[in-house]
Copies of this chain bind each other. A is one copy, B any other.
Amino acid sequence: MGFIEFFKEFFLGFWDYETPKIMVVKNRRLGVIYRAVQLLVITYFIWYVFISQKAYQDTETRPESSVYTEMRGMGMLGDSVRDTTEYVTPSEGGNVISTILQREVTYDQRQGKCAEHYNVPNANCTTDADCVKGELDFGGHGQRTGRCVSYYNYTFKTCEIRSWCPIEEFAAVREPALVEAINFTVFIKNAIHFPKFKVLRVNIKPRKPKKLLKCHYHSKTSPYCPVFRLGYIAEQAREKFSELCRTGGVIGVFINWKCDFDVDPSACIPSYSFRRLDLRRNLPSSGYHFRFAKYYYKDGEEYRSLIKAYGIRLDIIVHGHAGKFSLIPTIINTVTAMTSVGICSIICDWIMLTFIDKNEVYSERKFDDTSKESSPPAVTQLTISSYGSTHSDLSEGVPL
């Protein structure tokens, strides 16, 4: 045909609607299976995807979070008072804050020469010959001078070293634990912002600010009071506080925001959970401690107090998840649901053609075999003509 013809035809064809031909099988058993599978798929989508997973929502899982922590409380160590400026570090109040619960202090250390600890490999000696001058043992405390001296006020001798003297193992004084710490409170302020939804939430109720700092958190009675007793935290983390005082430990404070902005945003309150993060097993590495020193000058010389501190480190970890209705995901998931229903046919076809199909009548009708057009002739003709061929002879061949 001519180009115009063709183009015209194409244009007309473009506006045709094409839909697959369906074979209806009046088979109750099959129908039931079919509907059952469909029901299953639809239930899955409606119940799991849409209701439980809220697939109709646009979600945001990594909100901008700001944490401010402040430790409060005070305890007695013998006659002297210890307050937060002494046992809390760092002072800036970020999302990691540690409290010292017990200290081993080595007072008045200064650069000088003293005896190495007897545990250090080949530190024990009888004569200077046993000590290599200038040796710097990796596990030791300093550089050997080459002399063999008596171990402080003891009778036995060890190698002399240049170091901060006296050495910690010998001179450290273990203070009693700060038992009052169980009543210390940590105030955790957490402001969270979901940029996508432009929602800002804070874990503090705006009203009654004065009362705020007096309350203590309890999930039931005071969900809006982010002031936690260390005792409460330890208990929630299933740890004995006395044990923590001895070895120290790292405890994670998890703030979970699960917000559904289809309902009132003010309904979105954080939940808190506590879990010990470091190992509980009795390794030398278990627990939490750190060393620091206070430096000072006495008659022109630099001294320091070396402090080995056991304590609780709180890591505040914020998880946020917010959802809000959005068209795109809704459409996508609905389409997926609809297309997934198609899976039913695959299953049922298989059942039908394998088990139910008696003497292949279904498959005969479902599958129109192009190769079968040549037998028996007459039928073929009909078939062909039934698709509008124009063999004049044929159409006559059919009796009216």
Binding site for B on A (CB under 8 A): 14-28, 30-35, 44, 48, 64, 66, 68, 70, 73-76, 79-81, 83-86, 89-94, 96, 98, 111, 136, 138, 140-143, 162-164, 180, 183, 187, 189, 191, 193, 202, 204, 206, 209-210, 212-213, 250, 252, 254, 275, 277-279, 281-285, 288, 290-298, 300, 304, 306, 313, 315, 317, 328, 331, 335, 338-340, 342-343, 345-346, 348-349, 352, 361-362, 364-373, 375-379, 382-390, 395, 397-400
Complex CA distance for A68 and B7, rounded to whole angstroms: 67
Query: Which B residues lie within 8 Å of A85 (CB)?
Result: 291-293, 304, 306
Complex CA distance for A281 and B23, rounded to whole angstroms: 69
Query: Which B residues lie within 8 Å of A23 (CB)?
Result: 18-21, 367-368, 370
What is the chain B residue whose CB lies nearest that of A184?
B138
Query: Are B183 and A25 interface neighbours, CB within 8 A?
Result: no
- 4 closest Cβ contacts across the A-B interface? A66-B277, A378-B398, A15-B31, A376-B395
Query: Are A285 and B210 interface neighbours, CB within 8 A?
Result: no
Tell which of B24, B209, B306, B372 touches A368, judged by Cβ atoms closer than 8 Å. B24
Q: How far, in Å, is A274 (CB) from chain B's closest CB?
A: 12
Query: Are B204 and A368 interface neighbours, CB within 8 A?
Result: no
Q: How far, in Å, is A396 (CB) from chain B's closest CB?
A: 9
Tell which of B193, B204, B291, B370 touches A24, judged by Cβ atoms closer than 8 Å. B370
Q: Answer whether A345 and B89 are a contact pair too, CB < 8 Å, given A277-B193, A398-B376.
A: no
Query: Which B residues lie within 8 Å of A111 (CB)?
Result: 79-81
Query: Are B68 and A288 interface neighbours, CB within 8 A?
Result: yes
Query: Are A375 and B388 interface neighbours, CB within 8 A?
Result: yes
Q: How far, in Å, is A10 (CB) from chain B's closest CB?
A: 13
Q: Answer whether A400 and B387 are a contact pair too, CB < 8 Å, given A66-B315, A283-B209.
A: no
Known A27-B370, A81-B143; further 14 A-B contacts with Cβ < 8 A:
A15-B31, A20-B22, A20-B23, A21-B365, A85-B291, A85-B306, A91-B291, A204-B283, A213-B284, A213-B285, A342-B342, A376-B398, A382-B382, A399-B399
Complex CA distance for A96 and B90, rounded to whole angstroms: 12
Query: Which B residues lie within 8 Å of A387 (CB)?
Result: 364-365, 368-369, 372
Q: How far, in Å, is A91 (CB) from chain B's closest CB?
A: 4
Q: How far, in Å, is A390 (CB) from chain B's closest CB?
A: 7
Query: Which B residues lie within 8 Å of A98 (CB)?
Result: 92
Tell which of B26, B92, B209, B385 touches A370, judged by Cβ atoms closer than 8 Å. B26
Complex CA distance for A346 and B15, rounded to whole angstroms: 17
Query: Which B residues lie within 8 Å of A21 (CB)?
Result: 20-23, 365-368
Q: Answer whether A348 and B22 are a contact pair too, CB < 8 Å, given A64-B252, A183-B138, A279-B204.
A: no
Complex CA distance for A359 and B76, rounded to whole angstroms: 96
What is the chain B residue whose CB lies nearest that of A308?
B85
Query: Are A163 and B92 interface neighbours, CB within 8 A?
Result: no
Tell which of B96, B254, B284, B388 touches A209, judged by Cβ atoms closer than 8 Å. B284
What is the chain B residue whose CB lies nearest that of A294?
B295
Query: Are A365 and B370 interface neighbours, CB within 8 A?
Result: yes
Complex CA distance for A288 and B277, rounded to whole angstroms: 28
Q: How far, in Å, is A219 (CB) from chain B's closest CB?
A: 18
Tell which of B17, B24, B278, B335 touches A16, judged by Cβ atoms closer than 8 Å. B24
Complex CA distance for A163 and B136, rounded to whole angstroms: 41
Query: Are A25 and B17 interface neighbours, CB within 8 A?
Result: yes
Query: Which B residues lie within 8 Å of A79 (CB)?
Result: 111, 162
